[in-house]
Structure 1
Amino acid sequence: MGYIEDLRRIIGHRRVILNGCCAVLVNEQGALLMQQRNEPARRWGLPGGLMELGESTRETVVREVAEESGLRLDPAQLTLLNVYSGEGTSVAENGDQFDIVNTAYYAEHVNDGESLQYRWVPFSQLPENVPQTHRHAITDYLALRHANS
């Protein structure tokens, strides 16, 4: 059982602050890696998840991407994009309340991986139902890429 599960067992559905991490991963063709999630409501989002005790945000991204997509990232290829917070309280389908602090990284020229839950998506064809914090990270990445070109 992980840290979040242990915490929820103690406090139930009460509101907590959670530290999450996500990655804007772009392949050689310039497409973005997206994941369709079961919660909330089968939305599409960036690969990532919640920190466990003793992890850095970079380690969290590497672990989550490997667990969920099979892609093995070199931590050195991840660049900090931004930290997002203050989006308000979310409520999971099971009633858990949380505010998220989301740290976003990006990496370019990522080798393709295969997973039924993941898809490389051109930036021009992003799904509409992407969580707001992930949409902020995508927008910031595109602005950074534009500024560096």
Structure 2
Amino acid sequence: MGYIEELRKIVGTRPLILAGVGVAIIDDYGRVLLQKRRDGLWGVPGGLLELGESTEEAARREVLEETGLEIGELELIDVFSGQKYFVRLPNGDQYYSVTVVYRTHDIRGGELREDGEESLEVKFFFLHELPNELSPLFQDLVEHYFGS
């Protein structure tokens, strides 16, 4: 059982503040890697930190788990937090996410593939060809960082 599951046994569904990461992976053609999640929205790979894990370690772990790619150097883009990032899960669990977002061009290995659990599909997109169903975090990332 993971940290969050153990914490939920104590606090129930009450709101928590959870730290997470997201990674904008840019390929040699200038395309960004997006993943389609179970909620039908496209966004950058990422997830929540485990106890004792740095944000950089979490970023590399989540990317590998969700996309099959091994990444190296990371550049900090920004930290996204606040009321806009409140989440209420179907099971009633609630949380406010604080998400550290990185960018990388440093794809070191692996083979691009979805994990079938968190990533239903993974694909590189040019910014002018993004799907319509974007996560709020990725929409903010595009506006803030990519200037669209």
For Structure 1 versus Structure 2, the TM-score category normalised by the shorter chain is: 0.7 to 0.9
Cα 1:24/1:99, change in 2 over 3 Å: same
> 2:78 pairs with 67, 71, 82, which one?
82
Q: Tell me the alpha carbon deviations over residues 57-76 of structure 1, each in whole angstroms, 9 at most, x when there is no partner.
A: 111100000111111111xx
Q: With the length of structure 1 as denominator, give the TM-score of the two structures.
A: 0.85
Matching residue's letter, 2:12: G
Choose 80-89 or 107-116, whichever is displaced more: 107-116
3-state DSSP of counterpart to 2:26: strand
> 1:122 pairs with 123, 126, 138, which one?
126
**What is the aligned-residue RMSD (CA, Å)?**
1.9
3-state DSSP of counterpart to 2:50: coil
Cross-structure match for 1:22? 22
Residue 142, structure 1, aligned to residue 146, structure 2: yes
Residue 107, structure 1, aligned to residue 111, structure 2: no
Preserved CA contact (<8 Å) 2:70 2:107: no
Choose 44-53 or 112-121, whichever is displaced more: 112-121
Cross-structure match for 2:118? none
Preserved CA contact (<8 Å) 1:24 1:141: no
Cross-structure match for 2:135? 131
Supply the distance in 2 between the matched residues of 1:89 and 1:130 (Cα, whole angstroms): 16
Supply the distance in 2 between the matched residues of 1:88 and 1:114 (Cα, whole angstroms): 28
Q: With the length of structure 2 as denominator, give the TM-score of the two structures.
A: 0.86
Matching residue's letter, 1:33: L
Stretches (4+) displaced over 6 A = none
Q: C-alpha displacement at 1:111, in angstroms?
A: 6.2
Cα 1:138/1:111, change in 2 over 3 Å: farther
Choose 80-89 or 62-71, whichever is displaced more: 80-89
Preserved CA contact (<8 Å) 1:62 1:72: yes
Preserved CA contact (<8 Å) 1:28 1:110: no
Segments of 5+ residues of structure 2 without an aligned counterpart are 115-120
Supply the distance in 2 between the matched residues of 1:10 and 1:109 (Cα, whole angstroms): 40
Segments of 5+ residues of structure 1 without an aligned counterpart are none
Choose 84-93 or 106-115, whichever is displaced more: 106-115
Residue 94, structure 1, aligned to residue 91, structure 2: yes
Preserved CA contact (<8 Å) 2:81 2:97: yes
Supply the distance in 2 between the matched residues of 1:9 and 1:121 (Cα, whole angstroms): 40
Identity %: 36
Q: C-alpha displacement at 1:114, in angstroms?
A: 1.9
Number of residue pairs the alignment of both structures matches: 140
